[in-house]
Structure 1
Amino acid sequence: MFAGNSTSRRSFVAATALAGVMAAVPGIGRAATAGGGVRPFRIAIADAEIAAMKRRIAETRWADPQPVSDDGQGVRRQTLQPLMSYWAGAYDWRKVEARLNALPMFMTEIDGQDIHFIHVRSRHENALPMILTHGWPGSILEFLDAIAPLTDPTAHGGSADDAFHLVIPSIPGFGFSAKPTVSGWGSDRIGRAWSALMLRLGYDRYVSQGGDCGSVISQRMALQKVPGLLGIHLNMPAVVPADIARTLAAGDPAPLGLSGKERAAFDQLEAFYRDNAAYAAMMNTRPQTIGYSLVDSPVGMAAWMYEKIAQWTYSDGQPERVLGRDAILDDMSLYWLTGTGASAARIYWEDHSNNFNARGVIDLPVAVSVFPGEIFRAPRSWAERCYTNLFYFNEASDGGHFAAWEQPALFAREVRAAFRSLR
């Protein structure tokens, strides 16, 4: 079963012979097919679907320009309209489709749910298996530029001892993974599914990495102590202490006695909740209501996503500067062509909790990288309260919420450094 509506399903074709894919794609080891039910996957979006997407963009009924000179009411028309004109015109989905199809991609059923994933094995024999999990409004595309430096570190300033085998799944309801047809697919269940996936691929010792939703999923894996998990690396740790969370929720002033970094984190979160959290409240409580717009209007979906991409990249509100407009539109096109705007939003409803707040003490090894453009820069003191085995903590020099997408080389260096002691 493929993600998307019935028309979209006809647009995705799986290769018919696993042996053929194994022969055609170098670097896929025996572990790629260990266990049952792992089947190769390729993307082939119909020309008619791409043309329909572009036609709908071109036929958009635009909202009138906002009567303010900044983005205080949301994404400005003069910002969005040129990007949408490019999307409807010269933008080429086939480039990213070909890039994905050049990678070893697979589908497997876990707990009744079809899971799509990329699986790239390093040529280095002692590589450490790692599962990488994206977030919203991101996707597996966040990690594409980090694959080479993580799997082939000797070609990217590292040593063979830094190599990883990578598994990069699409969260259920995102991208090419199937859309859950029953409730219950929150981060706990996804974490258990990720463990099952790694074990199915033959990895009984592995690490997990994530930011945004991927951070929550990795933390839940650690809290549940799922089989095989050695440790986790997070670039958006959920470490806000309960007393701080209550203060923020009540709208009360910052508590006395906070350190400088704690107060800065408090102020960042206070501003986020005050000015920019309405999207999360909507997806936490009414993902279906907003979902109709997200799957019916490509420009409506793009505005919903672009606002957060602009705010959360380390770009002064100009994400094209660090990601490039094609990368942003690749991500938006992936959501649109798979029809996953509503199903992806439901992970907020499933977890129905704040992605910043601590959820219990974790005693498995935890590594944290704090990037300067993150939604909030977690202080080490808060991380130490949440993680009793915090073995790595570093403040990176560049990058934002989408660390791997924005700064893949720096992200790779952080992950290598973080997990070096766990090998």
Structure 2
Amino acid sequence: MPRPSDDVRVCDARATDADLDDLRARLAAARLPEAETVRGAPPGRRRWEQGVPLADLTELVEYWRTGYDWRAFEARLDRIGRFRTTVDGLGIHFLHRRSARADAVPLLMTHGWPGSIAEFVDVVDELADPRDPDAPAFHVVVPSLPGFGYSDKPATTGWGIERIAAAWVELMGRLGYDRFVAHGGDWGGVITTVLGGRFPAHVLGIHTLTPQAPPGLTTDGLTAAERAWTEETRAFWSGPRAAYAKQQAARPQTIGYALVDSPVGLLAWIVDKFAEWSDTEDSPFETMSRDRVLDNVTLYWLTRAGASAARIYHESHDSLDPGLRVDVPSALTVYPRDIEKCPRPWARERFRNIVRWHTPGAGGHFPSLEVPGDFVADLRAGLAAVLAAHR
């Protein structure tokens, strides 16, 4: 294996005590609105139909101010290994956990919005050094998207999904990984699709939670369940639930002022999606760790990424090339409570070599946080099928 480039350096970024004191002071001084007018609704989805309920947010803000420990998350990142390098003129931050196994395969994992590298910190170790010696092992690389976390914020337009995918190939080569497998969900899934379609010489195969079909396909021949998937997805993107994406695509700078200036505003904007897009009935914390969600939000806050992260929508919303086809082996997983579900017959129109198709019984848009054990098992099975296709 080629030696990694010397251009890669350890990232030792730390929040200052002043930064953390300022966050707590802002939380203590927060001005909150009155309660939602569906207040008193019984536990369930209806409680959230106007957004994050006041009682839930008040409790979460208090815990963020008095109980949450950012330093523990920094230490967790240090144990995994965090680094920076410059690719295509932009500083890119990434986690890199090398496996001790001689047969390990390089694995690139890409997050989306409103996620971050925090989505994967609880699964990296098990993927790199599995407890089961018969399970596949991976050298895991988790980059922060441009404008997210400790990656640089682009100062000009042009950092869309195609450019990011090309940058990821350069990043992996710089680490000595000329051939690798790739995983992603949300924007990470779209970027992973681009990787598989544009860079088959480098990408052994992909695992995505966000298979997207080419436009214009008919529902003729779909089963009733598959037709329901298409109707649910169409209703999501054409209705008010997609307002966040339209806002961030059209006016990321405008919403960015609120997200960078108000920690409570940022918290509500992100937690609203963790609640709505997860496989839960009343609260995202039925399945997800409160601390891990706050790790994610605090990373956005400390790096002032509210506007710069939102700009990925301005750069890339509806930008996946309709003619892109993916011929590398592809493992596709569609979780039952995800916001976008593509029927297999439609997926086959873009992904020409589907080696595994899986529809788990539980999980939503954030499976690595909601059902981490099942997520790891599915990812391993999918990538095992990808690698078997090369034998």
Give the TM bin, normalised by the shorter chain.
over 0.9
**RMSD of aligned Cα (Å):** 1.9
Kept after mapping to 1: 8 A contact 2:277/2:337: yes
Write out per-residue CA displacement over residues 32-58 of structure 1, whole angstroms, 9 at most, x where no aligned residue.
x61231111123211110010111111
Aligned to 1:313, what secondary structure does the other structure show? coil
Q: Deviation of residue 136 (structure 1)?
A: 0.6
Q: Distance in 1 between matches of 2:272 and 2:330?
A: 31
Q: Provide the residue aligned with 1:248 in structure 2.
A: none
* Aligned: 1:268 with 2:245: no
How far 1:256 sits from its partner (Å)? 6.0
Partner residue, 2:310: 345
Which secondary structure does the structure 1 equivalent of 2:295 belong to? helix
> Counterpart amino acid of 2:248?
M
Q: Runs of 5+ in structure 1 lacking a partner?
A: 1-29, 245-254
Query: Structure 2 vs 1, CA of residues 260 and 158 (structure 1 numbering), >3 Å: closer, same or farther?
Result: farther
Structure 1 residue 122 corresponds to structure 2 residue 99: yes
TM-score, normalization by structure 1: 0.85
1:388 counterpart = 2:365: no
**Aligned residue number for residue 366 of structure 2:** 402
Asked if structure 2 preserves the Cα contact closer than 8 Å seen for 1:236 and 1:401, the reply is no
AA in 1 matched with 2:14: A
Residue 172 of structure 1 pairs with residue 146 of structure 2: yes
Q: Indicate which of 375, 378, 381 corresponds to 1:414.
A: 378
C-alpha displacement at 1:421, in angstroms?
3.6
The aligned amino acid for 1:72 is E
Determine helix, strand or coil for the equivalent of 2:74: helix
Q: Could you tell me which amino acid in structure 2 is paired with residue 219 of structure 1?
A: T
Residue 50 of structure 1 is matched in structure 2 by: 20
1:86 aligns with 2:60: no
* Cα pair 1:323 1:405 within 8 Å, conserved: yes
* Superposed CA offset, 1:50-94 (max 9, x none): 010111111111112122243222222122111111111121111
Asked if the contact 2:144/2:150 (under 8 Å) is kept, the reply is: yes
- Answering whether residue 4 of structure 2 is matched by residue 34 of structure 1, we say yes
Q: Does 1:369 align with 2:333?
A: yes
Equivalent residue pairs, number: 379
Gaps of 5+ in 2: 40-46
Corresponding residue of 1:192: 166
Secondary structure of the residue that 2:374 maps to in structure 1?
A: helix
**Per-residue deviation at 1:391?**
1.1
Shift of residue 280 of structure 1?
0.3
1:107 to 81, 84, 93: 84
Question: What TM-score, normalized to structure 2?
Answer: 0.92
Amino acid at match of 1:404: S
SS at match of 1:214: helix
Report the CA distance between 1:422 and its aligned residue.
3.7
Q: Give matches, 1:303-318, under 5 Å.
A: 303-318=268-283
Percent of counterpart pairs with the same letter?
42
The alignment partner of 2:349 has SS state of helix
Give the aligned partner of residue 141 of structure 1: 118
Distance in 1, Cα, partners of 2:84 & 2:289: 29
The CA deviation string for residues 357-409 of structure 1, in whole angstroms up to 9 with x for no partner, is: 96632222211012222113332222112211111111123221112122222
Deviates more, 1:223-232 or 1:407-416: 223-232
Given that 2:230 and 2:341 are in contact with CA atoms closer than 8 Å, whether structure 1 keeps it comes out as no
Within the alignment, does 1:131 sit opposite 2:71 as a pair? no
Q: CA deviation at 1:114?
A: 0.4
Contact 2:330–2:386 (CA<8 Å) still a contact in 1?
no
Kindly state the Cα deviation for residue 322 of structure 1 after the two structures are TM-superposed: 1.0
- Aligned-partner residue type, residue 116 of structure 2: S
What is the 5 A alignment of 1:215-234?
Answer: 215-225=189-199, 227-234=201-208
Secondary structure of the residue aligned to 2:106 is: strand
CA distance in 2, matches of 1:136, 1:194: 17
Q: Which residue of 1 aligns with 2:42?
A: none
Letter paired with 2:179? R
